[in-house]
Amino acid sequence: MKCITGKKCHETEELAEEALIENHIHFNHPKGSGPINIYLCEHCGHYHFTSQGEPHYILEEKASYIAAQKRARDWEYRLR
Ligand SMILES: [Zn+2]
């Protein structure tokens, strides 16, 4: 299943939110860049990331979780 926007599709809002959190754990987006929200696509009916508009509340809500996961990843990397 592919969308004409070429963006990755997330089947539900919940899955898109999880993926957004994962994305912020795995990539060090400088402040003001990277995907910050999700939206329902009118072309495919699935959810995509967007870097436009206001940040999703879940990024604020999960900020400490994201930071903790990042630190955990840093340690894994150093111990390799
Ligand atoms: Zn789409």
Q: Is residue 68 part of a domain?
A: yes
Q: Is residue 35 part of a domain?
A: yes
* Residue 28 confidence (pLDDT): 86
DSSP 61-77: HTHHHHHHHHHHHHHHH
* Residue 76 confidence (pLDDT): 84
* Residue 15 confidence (pLDDT): 98
Q: Is residue 4 part of a domain?
A: no
CA angle 36, 37, 39 (to 5 degrees): 155
Give the residue among 66, 78, 56, 76 at the shortest CA–CA distance from 23. 66
Residue 13 alpha carbon to ligand 1 centre in Å: 13
Which residue type is seen at 72?
Answer: A
Residue 47 alpha carbon to ligand 1 centre in Å: 7
Residue 14 alpha carbon to ligand 1 centre in Å: 16
Domain extent for 25? 13-78
Residue 27 alpha carbon to ligand 1 centre in Å: 23
d(CA 51, CA 35): 4
The tens place of each residue's pLDDT in the chain, 80 residues long, gives 689 999 999 999 999 999 999 999 999 888 778 999 999 999 999 999 999 999 999 999 999 999 999 999 888 878 87
Q: Which residues are found with C-beta within 5 Å of the ion, ligand 1?
A: 3, 5, 41, 43-44
- Our count of domains for the chain comes to 1
* Residue 74 confidence (pLDDT): 86
